[in-house]
Structure 1
Amino acid sequence: MNGFLAATTDPLVVQSGMICLTIHLLLFGVFAHYAPQGPWKKMPSHTAHQVLALPLMTYITYQGCLTWFLHNETAESEGRIHVLVPDGIQLAKVVFGFLLYWDIPVGLATPALRDPLMLVHHIGMLFVAGVVMGNLCLSQAPRGSYYAPFFLGVIEASSIPLSYVDIFHPKHKHWFDFLQEELKKKSTIGTILNSINEVARILFAILFLLFRFVYFPYVAISTCLLDFFQAAKAESDPALYGIFVACFLFTGLQMHWGLLIIRQIVKMLKGDENDKKDKES
């Protein structure tokens, strides 16, 4: 418990969380009280969350890719768990901060963001970040910062286009209806928003399948799971066993989501084929 409390008061954690929360509240105020009528006024917290998520996901993806692909040196099994990667630890603190002080509380307070599976996913990420920082480990020393740039940064590439796509999802009725109305009117703004949405959907599918459906399981199965299991046995640390379980479950979750995307793609392609047949007949 003391380790968790120490993590919550880390200067970078607090800075990250408070910056995100402050920006969210400012955007919420603008959308709710000063903006003209529109879906942003009916869903101010959800809109503020997505507006902030876009640059935030871009930042952590950039930082993760920079370290993982360019600055991370190959290490042996023990080294991958115990080596200190400063950029990985810093990224973990940023992620811990915005999850703890902004994303999870706002998700609980905003009906449009209140997804139980996503909440569990984000709590799991909070735990992972806490272990990387070292605050949740028995040793109170960072563990797995070698992997942090990948699991807390690189794989979030798909979250960049998703931040936009999710705004117009049919489950968010006000935004979905707004876009459909603009398309019916053949307005310029409707055409632009829909064009960006179509491109973002394609990018999301490509990036998700590439980084989360293929690359994520590869890293997890080829090295990460075994590394953390061996470290957990050597140190008898429940937190490291927890990372092993979390990595296993997260891998299954990525596979589940990836298969859903593949099914949607197949369904869409079959629909296009049926349309062509109808036109030819």
Structure 2
Amino acid sequence: MILSRITTAIRTQNWFAVAIEFVIVVSGVLLAFQVSSWSAKAGQRAYVRDALTRMLGELIGLSEVRANSVASRAERLAYLLEARPIVMGVVDADALTREQCVAIAVSDNGSGGVPDGLPSLDELMTSGAMESIQSANLRQSAMELYAKRGVVRTYAQQSVHEVVNLPIAFPDAVQLLLIPEPDEADDGWDVSASCDLAAMQASPAFQAALLQNIATYRGHVDYAYGFIDDAIATVREDLEEELGLSAEPAP
């Protein structure tokens, strides 16, 4: 229809009509592009909000899992720190407590990976949709969490090779045992340990290995958990504000 009118206008040399029709065509094309752009941006905003809503749920669940996990590790670290001066012979004691002995026996288990899965954060980063987040604070804190998590994962993988399985390396000093435990849900047995304090104090190699295990375990608690937990808390705060879920200020 428009093409027919333009053809007729050209034949009759009605240049004003040609200009009008040309403006109409160009305006229509531009409007179509603009509507398409608006639609794409609206779809992107809806996708990002959905991803952010999912990420908030993931953050809440992950925080709970990490809190439970780090609590048991912090307790074990406390027993290790109590046992350290006793094994090194700078604090007198007749024997280690059962909790201290077990903590020493499994002190190599404190390294390795930690709960840190956030599928929605990975999705936003790999899709490039992070730039569509309106809040600059949330963009920055989310990208910092993503980067810190990568650093901690590398650290956790390396720390596995820095610890010593003490019952295997020093069986005369510490041994793992099984003891009856009626309340144990799996099979009625629990892991315990037997420690020879005199053998520990007489072995500089054992003491050096224990100190290394304790340092790695401490770093695991403080860094692999504490470092990331702070970043998670910041992202969660920024995310709740972005989604309009922040608590209203008191009047």
How does the TM-score come out when normalised to structure 1?
0.30
Structure with more helix by fraction: 1
Structure ranking higher on relative contact order (CA contacts 8 Å, 6+ apart): 2
Whose Rg is larger? 2
How does the TM-score come out when normalised to structure 2?
0.33
